[in-house]
C-alpha cells in the first residue's frame, strides 16, 4: 500500500515537471572557435538539459566592434527544467568554464551564450531581457535561428523569425561552414 502511494506520487511528480523550451545563441571568436562551441554544447547537455535542435555553424563578421577576429555562431533549441534565471546562471557558469573573460563590451571572447527566447515569456529585468533585445538587428543571430525555427513568432513583435530576417538590414556577412555538429553525448 505504501509502495503504491510512493509510485503514484512519483509518476505525478514526473508528469507535472514543467519543461521549458529555450533558444540559445552561441558564439566564439577567440582561440579554437570550433572547440569552444563543441565543448559548450557538451556542458549544456550535462548542466542544462536536452539539445533538441542545432543549426549549422556560421562564420560571421564581428558586430559592434568590427576590428576583430570573425565569429563562429550557431543556435540551439533546448528543453530544460530550469527557469529563465537559473538558465542565465548556468550559461554564465559555462562561459566561465570556457575561459571567458569579461573585458570589453562586444570584445573578443572564447564563448558567448545569449538566451534568445524562453518559451514565449517576456522578461525585462536589469540582468535578464527576453526575448533578447538584439534578435531583430543581427543577421548572425537570425540566419541560424531561421534555419531551425522559421515560423516561430516573436512574442513582442508578433511576427515570425523568417519575417524578422526579411526585415533586417544588417549587411555583415554570414557564411555557412558546417552543417551538422554532434549534439548527443
Enumerate the active-site residues. Answer: 100, 109, 112, 114
Q: Does 22 bind ligand AMP (CB under 6 A)?
A: no
Q: Does 47 bind ligand AMP (CB under 6 A)?
A: no
How many Å apart are CA 161 and CA 171, to the nearest integer?
Answer: 17
Among 82, 98, 112, 136, which residue sits at the site for ligand AMP (rule: CB under 6 A)? 112
| 115: DSSP letter | E
- Minimum distance from CB of 115 to ligand AMP (Å)? 4
Q: At what angle do helices 84-97 and 33-47 cross, to 10 degrees?
A: 140
Among 26, 77, 94, 115, which residue sits at the site for ligand AMP (rule: CB under 6 A)? 115
Which is it for strands 174-178 and 20-28: parallel, antiparallel or unpaired?
A: unpaired
**Which range in 55-63, 122-130, 151-159, 171-179 contacts ligand AMP by CB under 6 A?**
122-130
Tell me which residue has cell 577567440: 30
Closer to ligand AMP at the Cβ: 102 or 182? 102
Question: Using CA of residue 87, residue 16, residue 123, residue 144, what is the dihedral sign?
Answer: positive
Q: Does 3 bind ligand AMP (CB under 6 A)?
A: no
CB 47 within 8 A of CB 94: yes
- Minimum distance from CB of 133 to ligand AMP (Å)? 7
Q: Does 154 bind ligand AMP (CB under 6 A)?
A: no
How many Å apart are CA 141 and CA 110, to the nearest integer?
Answer: 17
Q: Does 145 bind ligand AMP (CB under 6 A)?
A: no
- What are the CA-CA distances from residue 92 to residues 3, 86, 182 (Å)? 41, 10, 22
Among 16, 127, 151, 171, which residue sits at the site for ligand AMP (rule: CB under 6 A)? 127
Binding site for ligand AMP (CB under 6 A): 112, 114-115, 127-130, 132
Amino acid at each position: 500500500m505504501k509502495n503504491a502511494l510512493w509510485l503514484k506520487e512519483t509518476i505525478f511528480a514526473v508528469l507535472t515537471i514543467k519543461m521549458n523550451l529555450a533558444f540559445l545563441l552561441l558564439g566564439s571568436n577567440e582561440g579554437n572557435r570550433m572547440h569552444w562551441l563543441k565543448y559548450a554544447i557538451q556542458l549544456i547537455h550535462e548542466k542544462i538539459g536536452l539539445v533538441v535542435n542545432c543549426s549549422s555553424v556560421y562564420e560571421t563578421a564581428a558586430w559592434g566592434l568590427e576590428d576583430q577576429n570573425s565569429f563562429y555562431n550557431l543556435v540551439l533549441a533546448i528543453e530544460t527544467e530550469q527557469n529563465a534565471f537559473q538558465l542565465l546562471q548556468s550559461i554564465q557558469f559555462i562561459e566561465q568554464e570556457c575561459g571567458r573573460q569579461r573585458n570589453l563590451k562586444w570584445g573578443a571572447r572564447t564563448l558567448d551564450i545569449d538566451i534568445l527566447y524562453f518559451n514565449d515569456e517576456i522578461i525585462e529585468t536589469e540582468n535578464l531581457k527576453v526575448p533578447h533585445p538584439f534578435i531583430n538587428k543581427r543577421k548572425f543571430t537570425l540566419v541560424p535561428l531561421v534555419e531551425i525555427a522559421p515560423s516561430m513568432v516573436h512574442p513582442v513583435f508578433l511576427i515570425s523569425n523568417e519575417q524578422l530576417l526579411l526585415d533586417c538590414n544588417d549587411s555583415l556577412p554570414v557564411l555557412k561552414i558546417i552543417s551538422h555538429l554532434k549534439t548527443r553525448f
